[in-house]
Structure 1
Amino acid sequence: MAPHTAIDEVNALHEIEARFDTVQILNEEGKIVNDSLMPGLTDDELQEIMRRMVYTRILDQRSVSLNRQGRLGFYAPTAGQEASQIASHFALEKDDFILPGYRDVPQLIWHGLPLEQAFLWSRGHVDGMKGIEKLNILPPQIIIGAQYVQTAGVALGIKKRGKKSVAITYTGDGGSSQGDFYEGINFAGAFKAPAIFVVQNNQFAISTPRSLQTAAKTLAQKAVAAGIPGVAVDGMDPLAVYAAVKRARERAVNGEGPSLIETICYRFGPHTMSGDDPTRYRTEDLDNEWAKKDPLVRFRKFLEERNLWSNEKENETIEQAKEDIKAAIKKADSAPKQKVTDLISVMYEELPYTLKEQYEFYKVKESR
């Protein structure tokens, strides 16, 4: 009888996990630590990434203020995640589709959504997502992880039409615990659909820490079960995020299928402005530790060393953002008050009879 051979599943797991080290190009001091991965971005493109990140930080600050004034509705702060959001979007093309989570409004804005419409969406106004079919975007998904399944479908549609574009989606670390997460990456992998799945690991799903989400050492390694490539990157490093998404896009349009990218980052503010208090589950020491990794500070140091950024450029960007936001909120304020019939009319391409009855009822009521 042949000698019994133990099944060493523990070592097999450790071997897999060891392959998912965090990819970084810029360290916290803005120094290049992995020159071989440095993307071929021009000086103008590097400056544009910084401009968009600064603009987005101001947009976040003003949005928080507007929410507290009662001038916005639902809002999920983005400070700390600019590199993850903006640099990933910068690696896309206009023909690519974005399926966002509720924190991913900045990507929609940089993909063409007018700022005033973003404000209207926050207020729950139907005009907030008016005309988005021309922009290759879907409305921000509120259901956690649902956008992953939708992305698999959109990506398959892109493949069947023979288009050289991709569908990209985002969720948080909490979203990676949802069934839709696994179904989405598995379906896309099985059909080699051109999708990019991003998990923005900002350390907390509301108040639940990343350590309680899963026993997995990384979230990127979950790609292994679906048979697709996965990579963990420093989500506070815009160059690492850009390089990872750019590579994933190249694979996708070349027919090599989807990728999963974990961007390891931190949200500086609350989960949303709807009553969350991060001081109840995060320590000041932890906040200070991550503040040292601020993507804007890191990238600013990198650019300044190359004479590509200055206080003047930064102040110009800040003032432009403030002017744009002021004009956009004024436009949003002047939008027609939403009626019940407005809401009903956009729910279906053809209204079922029950809604037709309600539509007629409210049409008469609103005409009085």
Structure 2
Amino acid sequence: MKFLFLEPFYGGSHRDFAKGWVAHSGHDIHLATLPARFWKWRMRGAALHFSRTVGDLAAYDGIVTTGLMSLADFKALCDGCCPPVLLYLHESQTTYPLAPGEQMDLQFVFTDLTTALCADRILFNSQSHFDRFFRALPGFIGRMPEFKPHWATKVIRSKAAVLHPGCRFDPDLLYPAPLPGGPPLVVWNHRWEFDKNPDAFFSALDRVDRMGIDFRLALLGETSQFQPTAFLEARSRFGEKIVHYGYEPDKDEYTRWLKRGCVAVSTAIQENFGIAAVESMRHGCLPLLPRRLSYPEILPKEFHRLFLYADDEDLASKLAAILRQPEHFSHHRPVLADMMARHAWSSVIDRYDRELDLLVESRRQRTKDGRGTMDDGRGMRDEG
């Protein structure tokens, strides 16, 4: 079958996810994108752009899109001729943390709500994300002064499920390369933004450094126009310990850095799945992850005690232990690398393509039965 993939924010994990699905799918998927910038304007305006540029929607059996677009606007502009839509939620404004000094714009949360209502199928990228969304949504609806659509939570939940994203790495990698000699390498491979909490990361490194433990530092991950002050200060603070500083656009070179890494650290306060953590483990890095968000979900339970930390003190303590004696932990590297192979696109693509099959089948069945896509919600009483 033929599908249209609308990605209004084509960068980072959104870009990798879209490219991976298109490349591995047994279906014909046409990708239409907008650059990964001005996310607020994308949520407001991407629907207007795509409605005029994607051509005849009758040529497609279905549509895939992600959350940074108003699906309600798009479907309205398509004059009722939109094929069934699968919505993949990498993130949602309902649960996204605010940057320092920023106030929540409730219109973006409302766009989450109406987009989810307009989708025929919704996939969340982790159980953690799914749970937090449905915990937060009733509270948002409750803030409305009257005519509160409490029925919406049940309608959205009825068509939602969890499917971890595929990852673009070699599923046939047999064994991580031996760690290179010299001081162990600490890897940061996350976005350089506030929600990844770099201050806590560099604070832990500073404590380890003051213990007299030697290490090297590779600062990878995508950077924005405005770098957090923590990175600029770290460049001065750690000096020659930093062997790489800045985004590495070449996938092969990025992978080579991961293969050299001893430990990859996350201090995120926002992470709905954790592709960076999965990639680092797949290529041989030991993980050091907070005991929150999606990390307990993606790290196998038998490793929680060793590699999940409870707070900043626990992070510094566990990081110091790994860097002092990496050889005591190295036997875990091939086990974790093998476990992460389950996230390769080749391992998950059948489940994704089955979702597309079901998307089209369910629309055909509803059409045959004479029902629309939102009948479950139309008949429910408003409890304003």
- Is the structural similarity TM-score above 0.5? no
* TM bracket (short chain): under 0.3
Q: TM-score, normalised by structure 1?
A: 0.25
The answer to which structure, 1 or 2, has the higher relative contact order (CA under 8 A, 6+ apart) is 1
- Answer 1 or 2: which has greater strand percent: 2
